[in-house]
């Protein structure tokens, strides 16, 4: 049921396709994707969690729209439940969200448009989260330049909307679900992240970064202190890139 | 401190401790990539760091999971991820079948231990 080959190849620079059509294509791509189903189920799990800890539904839905990063939202609600001070929660959320910087930086160059100002770039960056990033990184590079931005907005805003609905569904379903199923929903985030990342890692360098990250994470989690995620990303990602750089340089026969 | 104790507090918390500390990273990225080309070598490095960071998030959620997932022993949590990944590889790289089998494994384990 992989849909990598299901969507028709996008004609380069088709002048008859308007921005609105591109946005609709993005929305449709989101609605029918496996990632959309997984995202919906993951946010149902989040809705159940907030019901458990007594976090108001309205604030949780607002967090899905404004924070738009499930691990950060789980931290936020967990901190609220534990009665942590706001600056402590903000620090934990900030540290856990460093990944958004390289993710946004990697996808934004595909979303540039000569006509739009920098405000649109900030809006596009806001929609960057794992699911939209993975789908975007897979589809955007082969797509016509002017279609990329509306396609991405259609795709990611549909993901956000689905997740806001799912947050509410989970809130009202909580307590009705068998415990094993609720645990299954919590497990969806790591499981789907890993498989989607592997699915996207077409180049050797991406696979290497993925493997290094998985192997180094337990090490840094044990000895890296509070910045363990950041260290894993920098050391694992940096090492993968160094191998890639070294191999390419040797391939070129030592020239620079 | 009525505001902080009131019904508005969770909403303020979402904005101050949720929205701002995440959005700052996304906004920094907008500034960082200005003038960088799509095929720039720096962006390959940035993509590697993003991928390794996400892999670390996966590892952490499996090794030190939040809440109820602790019902399932560590060895079985790792086995469930491995199961999903192996099925994904042998089932013609199907994301759907991979996730489905990993989920069936973890739900089965949770049902047995829960």
SS (H, E, C) chain A: CCCCCCCCCCCCCCCCCCHHHHHHHHHHHHHCCHHHHHHHHHHHHHHHHHHHHCCCHHHHHHHHHHCCCHHHHHHHHHHHHHCCCHHHHHHHHHHHCCCHHHHHHHHHHHHCCCCCCHHHHHHHHHCCCHHHHHHHHHHHHHCCHHHHHHHHHHHHHHHHHHHHHHHHHHHHHCCCCCHHHHHHHHHHHHHHHHHHHHHHCCCHHHHHHHHHHHHHHHHHHHHCHHHHHHHHHHHHHHHHHHHHHHHHHHHCCCCC
pLDDT digits (tens, 9 = 90+) for B19-55: 999 999 999 999 988 877 777 788 788 888 888 888 8
Given a contact cutoff of 8 angstroms between Cβ atoms, the answer to whether A147 and A10 are in contact is: yes
**Where residue B95 falls among pLDDT bands split at 50, 70, 90?**
confident
- For residue A23, the tally of other CB atoms under 10 A from its CB is 20
Sign of the CA dihedral A76, A81, A86, A87? negative
Under an 8 A CB cutoff, do B103 and A187 touch?
Answer: yes
Closest-CA residue of B relative to A101 is: B25
The confidence score (pLDDT) of residue A2 equals: 40
Does A4 have pLDDT greater than 60? no
Read off the pLDDT band of A256 (50, 70, 90): very low
With beta carbons less than 8 A apart as the criterion, state whether A42 and A51 touch. Answer: no
Residue with tokens 């192996």: B86
Confidence (pLDDT) at B4: 57
Neighboring chain A residues of B54 at a CB cutoff of 8 Å: 99, 103, 130, 193, 197, 213
Q: What is the pLDDT of residues B53-77, one digit of tens each?
A: 888 888 888 887 766 778 888 999 9
From A38, A104, A245, residue closest to B99, measured CB to CB = A38
pLDDT tops 70 at residue A7:
no
Give B67's contacts in chain A (Cβ within 8 Å).
Answer: 49, 52, 186
Tokens found for residue B113: 């231990």
Tell me if B45 and A76 make a contact (CB, 8 A cut-off): no
State the pLDDT at residue A6. 42
Chain A environment of B95 (Cβ under 8 Å): 1-2, 34-35, 192, 195-196, 199
Digit-coded pLDDT (tens) for A53-83 = 889 999 999 999 999 988 889 888 877 887 7
Per-residue pLDDT, B14: 95
Q: What is the pLDDT of residue A77?
A: 87
Distance from C-alpha of A108 to C-alpha of B34, rounded to nearest angstrom: 9
Q: Tell me if A229 and B106 make a contact (CB, 8 A cut-off).
A: no
Structure tokens at B25: 């990273």
What pLDDT does residue B3 have?
54
Calpha distance A251→B4 (Å, rounded): 61
Structure tokens at A130: 């794992």
Residue to substitute from A53, A70, A102, interface B, most B β-carbons within 10 A: A102
* Mutate: best of A62, A80, A131, A191, partner B, most B CBs <10 A: A191
Sequence-distant (6+) residues with CB within 8 A of A28 are: A154
Q: Which residue of A has its CA nearest to B71?
A: A183
Best probe of the B interface among A97, A140, A190, A196, by most B CBs < 10 A, is A190
User: Where on the phi/psi map is residue B67: left (φ > 0), alpha (ψ -120 to 50), or beta?
Assistant: left
ipTM score here? 0.83
pLDDT tens track for A178-237: 888 888 888 888 888 888 888 877 788 889 999 999 999 888 877 767 677 778 888 999
Q: Residue A29 — φ and ψ, nearest 5°? A: -60, -40
Per CB-CB distance under 8 Å, the chain A contacts of B32 are 101, 105
CA of B61: which chain A residue's CA is closest?
A190
Q: pLDDT class for A8, splitting at 50, 70, 90?
A: very low
Greatest Cα pair distance, chain A, in angstroms, is: 64
Shortest Cα distance from B96 to chain A (angstroms)?
6
HSE value, Cβ hemisphere, 13 Å, CA-based, for A171: 16
Contact yes or no for B13 and A193 at CB 8 A: no
When pLDDT is averaged across residues A114-125 and rounded to a whole number, the result is: 83
Q: Tell me the mean pLDDT in the region A27-31.
A: 86
- Which residues of chain A does B15 touch, with a Cβ-Cβ cutoff of 8 Å? 62, 66
Matching residue, tokens 């909580």? A174
pLDDT at A242: 92
Q: What is the pLDDT of residue A14?
A: 53
CA-wise closest residue to A42 among A140, A188, A181, A145: A188
pLDDT tens digits, A75-117: 888 778 877 788 888 887 887 788 888 889 989 988 887 677 7
Contacts of A219 in chain B (CB under 8 A): none
Q: What is the pLDDT of residue A153?
A: 93
- Rounded to whole angstroms, the Cα distance separating A210 from B52 reads 5
Among A105, A195, A241, whose Cβ lies nearest the Cβ of B85? A195
Reply yes or no on whether the pLDDT at A5 is more than 60: no
The confidence score (pLDDT) of residue B58 equals 84
Determine the distance in angstroms separating the CA of B87 from the nearest CA of chain A, rounded to an integer.
10
């Amino acid at each position: 049921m992989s849909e990598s080959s299901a969507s028709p190849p996008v004609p380069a620079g088709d002048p008859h396709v308007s921005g609105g059509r591109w946005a609709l294509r993005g929305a449709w791509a989101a609605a029918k994707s496996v990632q959309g189903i997984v995202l919906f189920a993951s946010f149902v799990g989040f809705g159940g969690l907030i019901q458990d800890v007594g976090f108001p539904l309205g604030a949780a839905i607002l967090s899905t729209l404004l924070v738009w990063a499930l691990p950060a939202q789980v931290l936020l609600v967990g901190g609220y439940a534990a009665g942590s001070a706001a600056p402590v929660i903000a620090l934990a959320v900030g540290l856990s969200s460093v990944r958004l910087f390289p993710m946004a930086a990697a996808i934004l160059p595909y979303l540039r448009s000569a006509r739009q100002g920098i405000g649109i770039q900030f809006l596009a960056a806001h929609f960057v989260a794992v699911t939209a990033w993975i789908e975007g990184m897979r589809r955007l590079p082969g797509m016509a330049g002017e279609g990329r931005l509306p396609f991405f907005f259609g795709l990611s805003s549909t993901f956000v909307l689905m997740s806001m609905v799912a947050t509410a569904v989970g809130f009202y379903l909580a307590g009705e679900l068998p415990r094993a199923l609720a645990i299954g929903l919590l497990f969806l985030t790591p499981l789907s992240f890993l498989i989607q990342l592997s699915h996207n890692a077409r180049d050797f360098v991406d696979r290497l970064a993925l493997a290094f990250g998985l192997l180094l994470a337990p090490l840094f989690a044990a000895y890296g202190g509070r910045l363990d995620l950041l260290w894993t990303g920098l050391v694992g990602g940096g090492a993968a890139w160094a191998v890639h750089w070294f191999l390419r340089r040797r391939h070129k026969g030592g020239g620079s | 401190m009525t505001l902080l104790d009131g019904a508005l507090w969770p909403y303020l918390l979402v904005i101050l401790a949720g929205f701002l500390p995440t959005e700052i990273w996304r906004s920094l990225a907008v500034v960082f990539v200005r003038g960088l080309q799509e095929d720039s070598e720096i962006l390959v490095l940035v993509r590697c760091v993003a991928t390794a960071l996400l892999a670390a998030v996966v590892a952490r959620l499996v090794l030190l999971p939040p809440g109820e997932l602790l019902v399932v022993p560590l060895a079985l949590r790792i086995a469930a991820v491995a199961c999903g990944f192996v099925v994904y590889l042998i089932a013609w790289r199907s994301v759907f079948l991979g996730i489905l089998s990993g989920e069936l494994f973890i739900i089965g384990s949770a049902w047995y231990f829960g």
